[in-house]
Amino acid sequence: MDYHRMNNVDIKIIRIFNTYGPRMHPRDGRVVSNFIVQALKNEAITIYGTGQQTRSFQYIDDLIDGMTKMMDTENLIGPVNIGNPKEFTMIELAETIIRLVNSKSKLVFKPLPQDDPMQRKPDISLAREKLNWTPKIQLEEGLTKTINYFRAVLN
């Protein structure tokens, strides 16, 4: 914002929320890649806390679409949230991945880190209004594409 004010240049600010998809690194430490790798290896899937905390996940194609629309929109600096507001519990995510992989993995529960929030859900009302943007790829479709990628790179 300082650079924008000082130099009168066009800038764009977006907030990116939990994005996943092909080309993620298998050991990047994110929940989607962790769960997929564990499921593909039939290892226990690690869930912290009760697993009732929720997260929302957006597929990479939706992020790119939102970013492109933001860059093409005149007179809008932001910040604009780009994410998928549909929430899933960690247990729902794990069980969906187990089913899609056809894995024998079981859930293992560990203590919840102190700073782990119970909910992360973006408010995308500004993106809807100003960019005419909403995510299109549903979780299972995106997970299937991501699982297929991980199967190829882990073999």
Provide the whole-model pTM: 0.91
Q: May I ask the CATH architecture of the domain 2-154?
A: 3-Layer(aba) Sandwich (3.40)
* CA-atom Rg of the chain in angstroms: 18
Q: Report the candidate in 65, 82, 79, 83 with the shortest Cα–Cα distance to residue 4.
A: 79
**What is the number of other CB atoms lying within 10 angstroms of the CB of residue 151?**
12
- Domain ranges within the chain, ordered by starting residue: 2-154
Q: Is the peptide bond before 113 cis (omega within 30 degrees of 0)?
A: no
Report the candidate in 89, 91, 67, 94 with the shortest Cα–Cα distance to residue 79: 67
Residue 120, pLDDT score = 84
pLDDT number for residue 152: 95
Torsion, CA 80, CA 86, CA 90, CA 96, rounded to 10? -130
**Residue 71: closest CA among 154, 14, 139, 3:** 14
- pLDDT by residue for the chain (155 residues), tens only, comes to 888 889 988 899 999 999 999 999 989 989 999 999 999 999 999 999 999 999 999 999 999 999 999 999 999 999 999 999 999 999 999 999 999 999 999 999 999 888 777 778 999 999 999 999 999 999 999 999 999 999 999 97
